[in-house]
């Protein structure tokens, strides 16, 4: 069902209250030294805006394209498909040049106000060395997604200084909770905005313990939000696109991975930066990350606690981010406060202009 412009505006108010190219040689590699461009914020999303639908990572199917178009149009927005949206190259959404061309074309098109990857999957990391950060910074617009899109978020934040958004992909199944907090962050800039965790996830925790919120170390942490999918954050450690989460609220999530892999990736981040240097650590809901039935293994919580228990900063698990339906949207680089007692995240500034 399509939402009218008037209904779209009402929903925002309610939320506030609660073409292919040849691949050029890789661009000059940015320095690995810690630095970040001054933050710029994309213009807010408005009714009738045009959304660029692309597949920068995994390939799209006709079913996922139809679902994504429905999601976009139901919000009262228009759809512009990338030229290579239907391309398939192995398990990728086309070749690197094709996926890169679609991303750059959407940033360069003044009619496109939001870029919404259709899915995560795999492959975004291959685009990083070829990204035109000058183009991206000169044409700030909303980029929204999670999972493999983490690679784009971290690179763009660090080298273009653009606030991007960790949240649903275009083909996600949208719930009232995910839609409300997505629209509030993208469309209704407020001086502060407090996001509670999803009640539905707490209800699911009664039968699925990994949905339960758990405070490892209580307190209040304040700093810029940075992070994403654990495997991608770890994969970028030691590269020019690595997440520098010192004095930041680091958020991490994962799906379909055994505890020993999570331990390996978290150890990599511990060795490269060190969790103790963060202002706080927020782990999302790690779906299907328990041990295999036939394996001798630590549990998910035991694995996370290897890295969280030694800390003296606020650290929580089971918050409403991850490969789940009821997830909230996180603006990368925006200052926020994590309150473990209230179980909330409060944005301390608008994420859009």
Q: Which residues are catalytic?
A: 147, 253, 323
The pairing of beta strand 112-117 with beta strand 50-54: parallel
**Rounded-to-integer distance, Cα 127 and Cα 110, Å:** 22
What separation in angstroms does the CA of 144 have from each of 34, 37, 221? 24, 20, 25
Quote the strand ranges of the chain, DSSP E: 50-54, 78-81, 112-117, 142-145, 165-166, 193-196, 214-217, 220-229, 249-253, 280-285, 315-322, 330-331, 335-339, 344-347
Handedness of CA 279, 205, 117, 60 (dihedral sign): positive
Tell me which H or E stretch contains 127. none
**Rounded-to-integer distance, Cα 105 and Cα 112, Å:** 9
User: Residues of 37-66 as b/e, b for ≥16 C-beta within 10 angstroms?
Assistant: eebebbebbbbebbbbbbbbbbbbeeebbe
């Amino acid at each position: 069902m399509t939402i009218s412009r008037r209904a779209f505006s009402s929903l925002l108010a309610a939320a506030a209250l609660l073409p292919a190219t040849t691949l050029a040689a890789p661009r000059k590699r940015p320095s690995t030294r810690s630095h970040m461009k001054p933050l710029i914020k994309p213009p807010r999303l408005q009714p009738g805006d045009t959304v660029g639908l692309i597949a920068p990572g995994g390939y799209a199917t006709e079913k996922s394209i139809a679902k994504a178009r429905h999601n976009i149009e139901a919000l009262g927005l228009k759809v512009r498909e990338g030229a290579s949206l239907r391309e398939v190259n192995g398990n990728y959404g086309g070749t690197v040049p094709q996926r890169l061309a679609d991303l750059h074309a959407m940033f360069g098109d003044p009619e496109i106000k939001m870029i919404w990857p259709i899915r995560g999957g795999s492959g975004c990391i291959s685009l990083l060395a070829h990204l035109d950060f000058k183009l991206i910074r000169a044409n700030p617009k909303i980029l929204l997604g999670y999972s493999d899109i983490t690679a784009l978020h971290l690179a763009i934040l660090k080298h273009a200084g653009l606030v991007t958004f960790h949240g649903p992909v275009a083909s996600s199944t949208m719930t009232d909770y995910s839609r409300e907090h997505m629209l509030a962050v993208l469309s209704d800039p407020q001086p502060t905005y407090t996001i509670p965790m999803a009640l539905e996830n707490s209800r699911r925790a009664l039968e699925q313990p990994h949905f339960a919120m758990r405070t490892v170390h209580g307190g209040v942490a304040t700093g810029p939000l940075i992070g994403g999918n654990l495997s991608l954050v770890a994969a970028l450690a030691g590269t020019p696109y690595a997440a520098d989460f010192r004095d930041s609220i680091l958020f991490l999530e994962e799906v379909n991975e055994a505890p020993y892999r999570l331990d390996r990736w978290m150890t990599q981040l511990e060795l490269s930066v060190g969790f103790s240097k963060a202002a706080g650590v927020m782990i999302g809901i790690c779906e299907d990350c328990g041990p295999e039935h036939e394996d001798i293994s630590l549990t998910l919580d035991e694995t996370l606690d290897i890295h969280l228990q030694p800390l003296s900063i606020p650290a929580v698990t089971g918050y409403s981010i991850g490969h789940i339906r009821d997830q909230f949207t996180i603006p990368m680089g925006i200052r926020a406060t994590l309150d473990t007692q209230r179980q909330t995240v409060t944005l301390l500034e608008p994420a859009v202009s």
